[in-house]
A and B are shown apart, each in its own frame.
Chain A
Amino acid sequence: MRHILSILSENEAGALSRISGLFSARGYNIDSLTVAPTEDPTMSRFTIVTTGTDDIIEQITKQLNKLVDVVKVVDLTDGNHIERELMLVKVRAAGKDRDEMKRLADIFRGRVLDVTDKSYTIELTGTSEKLDAFLQAIEPGVILETVRTGASGIGRGERVLRV
């Protein structure tokens, strides 16, 4: 099962290695990891997408909580949540394919950020699934480069993760 873990941690040098090191040392998966400081600069927020059985996710959560730098851990997939990922994708856009590419980007509510006579750079935001769907919708041959941030997530409604 895919889980999205949100972690609040002290914004200390080494906090990222402690967290990522825990995953590699204990053989847990990291599908994606994203981190940045919060509105309180002494605190960082991580979003980690991982997969595992309920037992493994329980262990991951407990082990994360045990890290001294970690303040709070929440499994967003336990409740309603919003998930977004940003992708920049550079595609070949020349000749007759050029219009088609623009139309496709529009369908996925993508924005063209940079244009040359041979290429578009498209910005796309959505769930990771939606980004996958866009990449599948275009011919693999036209993709020149992709870069993705990994998922960020937040609970819906009143659900708040803070100290």
Chain B
Amino acid sequence: MQLTGAEIVIRCLQEEGVEYVFGYPGGAVLNIYDELFKQDKVKHVLVRHEQAAAHAADGYSRSSNKVGVALVTSGPGVTNAVTGIATAYMDSIPMVVITGQVPTHAIGQDAFQECDTVGITRPCVKHNFLVKDVNDLALTIKKAFYLAATGRPGPVLVDIPKDVTQATAEFSYPKTVSMRSYSPVTKAHSGQIKKAVSLLLEAKRPMVYAGGGVVLNDAAAQLTRLVRLLGFPCTNTLMGLGGFPGTDPQFTGMPGMHGTYESNMAMQHCDVLLAVGARFDDRVIGNPAHFARNERKIIHVDIDPSSISKRVKVDVPIVGYVGDVLDEMVKIIESSPSRPDPATLKAWWGEIKEWQRKDCLKYDTKSKLIKPQFVVQKLYELTKGDAFITSDVGQHQMWAAQYYKFDKPRRWINSGGLGTMGFGLPSAMGTQLVNPGATVACITGEASIQMSIHELSTCRQYRLPIKIVNLNNRYMGMVRQWQEFFYGNRYSESYVDALPDFVKLAEAYGHVGMKIEKPGDVEGALKEALKQTERLVFLDFITDHKENVFPMVPGGKGLTEMILAEEL
């Protein structure tokens, strides 16, 4: 069957079972948009800025484990989307980005809305393609979906010149694809797994450190089984929250720069560390030289060999899908009579409980001002810990991660690697669309939300009943916190002057706006907002602008060199 390139694009998306495409039309993609118009299998969500298209596709993917799809035009369409693509790349989110390009004969001529898309996006995609021949189009799109979702996932971009969308070719969608240059290791080395298990069983001070890889590989159940079987303490990184239940007594909270005292102490002082789908990020282990001071055996399970021994030397590397590896570990342990020595483990838990007594997340509950932590806590209680929470970047993100206890994976949607302000609202849109009927809350701040405020318009168009929890402290809070601690209280450009009236702004976009100024009104406002299941509610909480995030490991310091709230 002869189809045009544009028809082929849409047919490929249908074949892949794509429900939603997030995008913005423009000259180079007009043929594709025309084909979108003529069918109703693939629904299009019109964003207000291409960055949001990428973030929305990203949030869609994070909250569902489907491949997110974004569609943007050439030139500025692409450059606007780059932040969103880089965000997905840093957090290994499977995504296919289809971009229009000027016609092949115009490439390199500095044509209108031309940019070197493949060149610009090369460092922030898993792979990208420029399709110069319509006969290659279907196979290339097939490859893009395959690459995005297998191995270590990531965004893949397909750049399609306008004349290729007009040209015709015989269409048949390949059922499978194999590439001689791409064969991610999938089956882990069983000898290494056995070695790891015997290390775990002999450990005196074990610690499990699980990251985003557990969430991405849908391996939360396997991780939970293993950790409970062993009785070990477990910490989840910012990207891994929900990978192990946040309310489980074996969960010690998040590690790292704003991790709990007990998690950081246990990470530093353990004798065997099992790292699963985590990458020893600078925000997690602090100064690597300081981290290396305590001797410990490290087992590292990851799908990406280049993540292993990159920042920290590892004793037992295991390359493979984390879910399969964890399954095999459980099997080996269950079929063996040996278990960790209960007395030794009890002594280790004794140390951890001692650290927990620091109660590092306590805050002033008697304040006359609204404490941001209190808002997150109330939201947690009222949603029974079962909402999808997206966030932007800064203090509010850390408070959300610290005070909302995620029992399930894919409930916590945030930009961990790139740290992209403006991520929260558009990613909430993708999350809400793929989880209709679920409570989706975007915990944000007055600085971050303004980076994507225009998406309130998209939310209105598609009737997305997102709850925006704006922790409004009139500052770029995290910047202000660093300036207070390390720059002698010189608040250089961190005060957000001339803020809009968010209530009126929300109303102007057709939503419900609420302003909350007293701690006593927090619960009532949240309850009222959560009742509005059909409407987007913008909750503007005027919070204590002096509040800081604790504990804190200052940049470049060791993991145990934490600043605690009580010390100030």
Contact A55 B309 (CB under 8 A): yes
Contact B181 A71 (CB under 8 A): yes
Give the CA-CA distance A25 to B124 in the complex, in Å. 11
Contact A25 B179 (CB under 8 A): no
Q: Which residues in A have their C-beta under 8 angstroms from that of B309?
A: 55, 58
Instruction: Mark contacts of B154-180 with chain A using CB atoms, 8 A cut-off: 1 yes-contact digit, 0 otherwise.
Output: 000000000000000000000000011
Query: Chain B residue with minimal CB distance to A15?
Result: B181
Whether a CB of chain A sits under 8 angstroms from the CB of B126 is yes
Give the CA-CA distance A21 to B180 in the complex, in Å. 22
Contact B122 A71 (CB under 8 A): no
Q: For chain A residues 39-75, which have a beta carbon within 8 Å of chain B?
A: 55, 58-59, 62-63, 65-66, 68-71
Give the CA-CA distance A68 to B151 in the complex, in Å. 11
Q: Majority SS of interface residues in chain A? A: helix
Whether a CB of chain B sits under 8 angstroms from the CB of A9 is yes
Contact B118 A21 (CB under 8 A): no
Given A17-B122, A68-B147, answer yes or no on A63-B181 (Cβ-Cβ < 8 Å). no
Whether a CB of chain A sits under 8 angstroms from the CB of B304 is yes
Whether a CB of chain B sits under 8 angstroms from the CB of A13 is yes
Contact B180 A25 (CB under 8 A): no
Whether a CB of chain A sits under 8 angstroms from the CB of B488 is no
Instruction: Mark contacts of B266-306 with chain A using CB atoms, 8 A cut-off: 1 yes-contact digit, 0 otherwise.
Output: 00000000000000000000000000000000000000111
Q: Which residues in B have their C-beta under 8 angstroms from that of A59?
A: 306, 310
Instruction: Mark contacts of A9-38 with chain B using CB atoms, 8 A cut-off: 1 yes-contact digit, 0 otherwise.
Output: 110011001100100010000000000000
Interface residues on B, range: 10 to 19
Q: Which residues in B have their C-beta under 8 angstroms from that of A107?
A: none
The residue that B306 contacts in the complex, of A10, A13, A63, with Cβ under 8 A, is A63
Give the CA-CA distance A163 to B182 in the complex, in Å. 12
Query: Chain A residue with minimal CB distance to B307?
Result: A62
Whether a CB of chain A sits under 8 angstroms from the CB of B249 is no
Contact B305 A62 (CB under 8 A): yes
Whether a CB of chain A sits under 8 angstroms from the CB of B123 is yes
The residue that B126 contacts in the complex, of A21, A25, A68, with Cβ under 8 A, is A68
Query: Chain A residue with minimal CB distance to B132?
Result: A13
Contact A71 B180 (CB under 8 A): yes
The residue that A70 contacts in the complex, of B126, B181, B310, with Cβ under 8 A, is B181
Contact B122 A14 (CB under 8 A): yes
Query: Chain A residue with minimal CB distance to B127?
Result: A68
Whether a CB of chain A sits under 8 angstroms from the CB of B337 is no
Instruction: Mark contacts of B170-211 with chain A using CB atoms, 8 A cut-off: 1 yes-contact digit, 0 otherwise.
Output: 000000000111100000000000000000000000000000
Give the CA-CA distance A68 to B178 in the complex, in Å. 12
Give the CA-CA distance A63 to B130 in the complex, in Å. 22
Q: Which residues in B have their C-beta under 8 angstroms from that of A62?
A: 305-306
Q: Which residues in B have their C-beta under 8 angstroms from that of A25?
A: 123
Give the CA-CA distance A129 to B403 in the complex, in Å. 62
Contact A66 B306 (CB under 8 A): yes
Give the CA-CA distance A18 to B310 in the complex, in Å. 20
Q: Which residues in A have their C-beta under 8 angstroms from that of B152?
A: 66
The residue that B182 contacts in the complex, of A13, A55, A58, A68, with Cβ under 8 A, is A68
Give the CA-CA distance A71 to B152 in the complex, in Å. 17
Query: Chain B residue with minimal CB distance to A8?
Result: B181
Identify 28 residue pairs between A and B in the complex whose beta-carbon atoms are under 8 Å apart, listed by A's number: A9-B181, A13-B130, A14-B118, A14-B119, A14-B122, A14-B130, A17-B122, A18-B122, A21-B122, A25-B123, A55-B309, A59-B306, A62-B306, A65-B305, A65-B306, A66-B152, A66-B304, A66-B305, A66-B306, A68-B127, A68-B179, A68-B181, A68-B182, A69-B127, A69-B181, A71-B180, A71-B181, A163-B180
Extra A-B contacts (9), CB below 8 Å, given A13-B130, A18-B122, A66-B305: A9-B181, A14-B118, A62-B305, A65-B305, A68-B127, A68-B147, A68-B182, A71-B180, A163-B180
Residue positions of A touching B, CB distance < 8 A: 9-10, 13-14, 17-18, 21, 25, 55, 58-59, 62-63, 65-66, 68-71, 163
Residue positions of B touching A, CB distance < 8 A: 118-119, 122-123, 126-127, 130, 147, 152, 179-182, 304-306, 309-310
The 10 residue pairs across chains A and B that have the minimum distance between CB atoms: A62-B306, A68-B127, A71-B181, A62-B305, A68-B182, A63-B306, A10-B181, A25-B123, A66-B306, A69-B181
